[in-house]
Amino acid sequence: MTNTQEPVAMPPQLTVRETTPDQVPPLPDAEKARRYIDTEGRYAEGALHAGAGAYQKLVLDVRRGELYFYCNDWRVPRDPNNDVSFPPNEGIWSPFHWLKVPDIIWWTIDAHFHVTERPFLTLDQGNAFARTVAPLAEALLLNLLPVPGTDTYDWSAEAASAGLDIMAACTRHQPPPKGRRPELVNMAEAVSVHPALVQDRWATLDDTQLDEAAEHLNRCGLSHNPAIAEGLGIDANARDASLVGTRAWLYEYRRKAAAGRPMQSLAVWLAANPLVVTADTTNAELETVPEQAAAAAAAEGIVLLGATTQAARTRREQLRQEVLDELATYGKARADAEAAVKSNRAAVYARLYRTFAWEERYDGRPAVSDTDLGKLARVSRQAVGKLREQLDETALEEETTNV
């Protein structure tokens, strides 16, 4: 992270995309499904029809602002281990804690030929249902909160409530929308009635630390701060009660605290200032790094984020691992080089010994002089002569032994 001041685009306005006949499978045959069940599986042709399940969905493409009726092909068995299936598993509407907004959100339509209140929808009915739900989907999109400095969105109580109303509309009972849920509290609302909730340290947390703080507030903010519920007149222990929009609020708080100055994580700053922490930095020296780095960054007009001893220690461990990796590389190179030297030395000696056995010239000189052999083998003339002497001594010893 080098700068988190860039504006974040709002989600696009909603459009309802009409699904066409070529994009949906035929409706399962209820009669074939019943026959399969009645015959206890002996009517094999009805197996897929009976196992079609709730294959019809509403899909909201957050990035494109498109809502549409979608059908998985019930004729093709779905592989639960297939990560490229559509719609993606991470986008299923199953709210527990409001932490992230996926790019694709989808709701399963509670339709089936066994459901009297809502049999499987025809294509026309599915497109019409998408148009009916469109105002809720538009409310969801318009109330998402951009997270400053990122390309992501966070939930608001209004957006989350709209998603819950869409979920209800997809059930067989189709109750009317409830609108804003009082048990979902926007972070801004919580701060307005309980300013002590705000912690100064949030202004200098890096992204990972800020996300952890946002998750903690989202999960425990109401239960750990009863003053919020008291100030808003709600039940903090109500089912699904939660602080919402914590991540967007924290990132905005940090952005405002920076007052236009660039923000940089300690890891990035240390990489740009390699002398502050090295592989040889001691534990005592690490303790002084956060304060030293924060002061130096401030002098540069930079807000330093995540300046902790642990972050400095992590940097030192990275650098030490680089040294260990280099040691392994050079160790292998040394071993390979020594092995090559050993192999080449043996090859040189073998060939020298062969030349020693060649017949002498007519004038009694060796076939190849020690000087020439030394030049070829890249050793001294004396070294060649010593090898020749050792060979002669060995031959003499063998002759003496055999006498």
Question: 384: domain range?
Answer: 358-402
Q: Within this chain, do residues 136 and 16 fall inside the same structural domain, yes or no?
A: yes
What per-residue confidence (pLDDT) applies to 27? Answer: 86
pLDDT at 4 > cutoff 50: no
For helices 123-142 and 157-169, give the axis angle rounded to 10 degrees.
Answer: 170
Strands 303-305 and 263-265: parallel
Q: Within this chain, do residues 114 and 255 fall inside the same structural domain, yes or no?
A: no
Q: How far apart are CA 307 and CA 290, in angstroms?
A: 5
Q: Within this chain, do residues 65 and 133 fall inside the same structural domain, yes or no?
A: yes
Q: What confidence tens digit (pLDDT) does each residue in 316-368 have?
A: 999 999 999 999 999 999 999 999 999 999 999 999 989 988 888 777 788 88
The mean pLDDT value of the chain amounts to 88
Q: Within this chain, do residues 67 and 112 fall inside the same structural domain, yes or no?
A: yes
End-to-end, the C-alpha distance of the chain in Å comes to 87
Q: What confidence tens digit (pLDDT) does each residue in 367-390 have?
A: 889 999 999 999 999 999 998 888
Written as one letter, the residue type at 243 is L
What is the gyration radius of the CA atoms in the chain, in angstroms?
38
Residue 350 forms part of a structural domain? no
What per-residue confidence (pLDDT) applies to 403? Answer: 47
375's CB contacts (< 8 A; 6+ apart) are none
Q: What is the dihedral of CA 206, 209, 215, 219, to 10 degrees?
A: -140
pLDDT, mean of residues 305-321: 92
For helices 370-377 and 381-402, give the axis angle rounded to 10 degrees.
Answer: 110
Q: What confidence tens digit (pLDDT) does each residue in 263-291 have?
A: 999 999 999 999 999 999 999 999 999 99
pLDDT at 156 > cutoff 70: yes
Q: What confidence tens digit (pLDDT) does each residue in 200-255 have?
A: 999 999 999 999 999 999 999 999 999 999 999 998 888 888 999 999 999 999 99
What per-residue confidence (pLDDT) applies to 329? Answer: 96
What per-residue confidence (pLDDT) applies to 373? Answer: 93
Q: How confident is the model at residue 5 (pLDDT cuts 50, 70, 90)?
A: very low
The residue among 260, 278, 310 that closes a domain is: 260
- Angle at CA of residue 360, ends 355 and 366, nearest 5°: 60
The residue among 181, 205, 221 that closes a domain is: 181
* Domain count across the chain: 4
Residue 29 forms part of a structural domain? yes
User: Which region among 77-91, 92-106, 245-259 has the lowest average model confidence (pLDDT)?
Assistant: 77-91
Residue 349 forms part of a structural domain? no
What per-residue confidence (pLDDT) applies to 2? Answer: 43
Q: Within this chain, do residues 32 and 119 fall inside the same structural domain, yes or no?
A: yes
Q: Within this chain, do residues 176 and 124 fall inside the same structural domain, yes or no?
A: yes
The residue among 260, 277, 308 that closes a domain is: 260
228's CB contacts (< 8 A; 6+ apart) are 185, 190, 193, 194, 197, 221, 222, 236, 243
pLDDT, mean of residues 122-147: 95
CB 1 within 8 A of CB 205: no
What per-residue confidence (pLDDT) applies to 84? Answer: 60
Beta bridge partners of residue 154, listed in sequence order: 145
Decide which of 45 and 259 is more confident: 259
Q: How confident is the model at residue 36 (pLDDT cuts 50, 70, 90)?
A: confident
Q: How confident is the model at residue 394 (pLDDT cuts 50, 70, 90)?
A: low
Q: How confident is the model at residue 43 (pLDDT cuts 50, 70, 90)?
A: confident
Q: How confident is the model at residue 82 (pLDDT cuts 50, 70, 90)?
A: low
Q: How confident is the model at residue 1 (pLDDT cuts 50, 70, 90)?
A: very low
Q: Within this chain, do residues 10 and 153 fall inside the same structural domain, yes or no?
A: yes
Question: How much is the pTM?
Answer: 0.77
Per-residue HEC secondary structure of the chain comes to: CCCCCCCCCCCCCCEECCCCHHHCCCCCCHHHHHHHHHCCCCCHHHHHHHCCCCCEEEEEECCCCEEEEEECCCCCCCCCCCCCCCCCHHHECCCCCCCCCCCEEEEECCCCCCCCCCCCCCHHHHHHHHHHHHHHHHHHHHCCEECCCCCCEECCHHHHHHHHHHHHHCCCCCCCCCCCCCCEEEHHHHHHHCHHHCCHHHHHCCHHHHHHHHHHHHHHHHHHCHHHHHHHCCCCCCCCCEEECHHHHHHHHHHHHHCCCCEEEHHHHHHHCCCCCCCCCCHHHHHHHHHHHHHHHHHCCCEEECCCHHHHHHHHHHHHHHHHHHHHHHHHHHHHHHHHHHHHHHHHHHHHHHHHCCCCCCCCCCCCCHHHHHHHHCCCHHHHHHHHHHHHHHHHHHHHHHC
Q: Within this chain, do residues 233 and 109 fall inside the same structural domain, yes or no?
A: no
CB 293 within 8 A of CB 272: no
Written as one letter, the residue type at 250 is L
What per-residue confidence (pLDDT) applies to 80? Answer: 64
